[in-house]
Each structure stands twice: as structure tokens, then as C-alpha cells.
Amino acid sequence: MKLLIKRFDKSLPLPVHKTPGAVAVDLCSRIDLDIQPKEIVYIPMNVAIKIPDGYFILSAPRSSTHKMGLLGINSIGIFDRDFCGDNDEYHFAAYNFTDTVVHIEKGARLIQLVLIKCENFEFTELDKMSDPTRGGFGTTGVK
């Protein structure tokens, strides 16, 4: 499947699957920046993507991003199909959890994207669920 993509800085490469078995593509920072200790920043990731109907994109920090001193503030991100305007650049909401400044270089790979098939859904409200004996949150792990 081919997706339509806009790069904001064409000196940075297009995202690609790095190996035949890779399910995600990496995005990289469009800018150099210093992130102060305990600071939250929104790092521009250089792309806007047109997502096909029936799909969404899930983003997550790369497994090595924490080694830089960064965490995704909401762990994952979901990009909807209608977030695809000319100025809808993807960003990584990052938190510097260290006590030192974290320097990010332009081109540093920070997050990964996965294209996932999905369906929209609606709800039918009930007054009771079919199994009234179920215990509630966390009960599947209780012996």
C-alpha cells in the first residue's frame, strides 16, 4: 500500500521500513533543540500523511528513545484520517525525565508509526450486561 506524504524539510529522508520484517517506520526530528530538565516539548517530526479510509496511524516512542532521557507524555499517539491538512505536521509530545538538558539533533529518530486497519463503531446502550456475576476491573488476575 502506498500512502501520500508531505515532508516539511526535504533534506530529511522519507520514512521507510528498515528491514523486511519491520512493521513500523521511524520518524525523525525536523529541528535541533535542547529540552530542559522536566520540560515537555512538542517536537516536529517532518511529515503530514494522508491515511486511507479504514485505517489509522498509531505512533509510539522508539525502544531506544528513553536512553536519550525522553518519554512520550501520553505513551502512544493516534493519528486520525482527517488529520491530513497541508500544515498538519506530526509532532512527538516528549518529556525530559532527567535532571540534565537533553540535546536532540535534527534527523534523530524518535518515534515509530504503524498503519492499523480499523472500523468505526456505534454503541447500543443496555441497562445490564449479560453476565451479572463478573466482578469488575482487575478481577481476571485474582485467584
Look at residue 132 in the predicted model and tell me its pLDDT.
Answer: 67
Rounded to an integer, the average pLDDT of 16-32 is: 96
Give the number of other Cβ atoms within 10 Å of residue 89's Cβ: 18
- Burial (CB < 10 A; 0-12, 13-18, 19+), residue 29, is buried
> CA 14 to CA 76: how far, in whole Å?
21
- Residue of 6, 13, 41 whose CA lies nearest to 109: 13
Quickly tell me which residue has 535541533 as its cell: 32
Does residue 17 have a pLDDT over 80? yes
Look at residue 75 in the predicted model and tell me its pLDDT.
Answer: 83
Torsion-angle region of 111 (φ positive above 0: left; ψ -120 to 50: alpha; else: beta): beta
Give the number of other Cβ atoms within 10 Å of residue 10's Cβ: 9
Domains and CATH numbers, the chain: 4-119 (2.70.40.10)
Look at residue 73 in the predicted model and tell me its pLDDT.
Answer: 93
Look at residue 129 in the predicted model and tell me its pLDDT.
Answer: 81
Rounded to an integer, the average pLDDT of 47-73 is: 96
Does residue 142 have a pLDDT over 90? no
For 85-138, how does the pLDDT look when each residue is reduced to its tens digit (9 = 90+)?
Answer: 999 999 999 999 999 999 999 999 999 999 999 999 999 999 888 776 766 776
C-alpha cell at position 125: 446502550
> CA 45 to CA 57: how far, in whole Å?
14
- Burial (CB < 10 A; 0-12, 13-18, 19+), residue 55, is middle
Decide if 104 contacts 35 (C-beta within 8 A): yes
Look at residue 130 in the predicted model and tell me its pLDDT.
Answer: 79
> CA 88 to CA 100: how far, in whole Å?
31
Please give the model's pTM, rounded to 2 decimal places.
Answer: 0.86
Q: Which residue has the higher pLDDT, 75 or 67?
A: 67
Q: Which residue has the higher pLDDT, 34 or 76?
A: 34
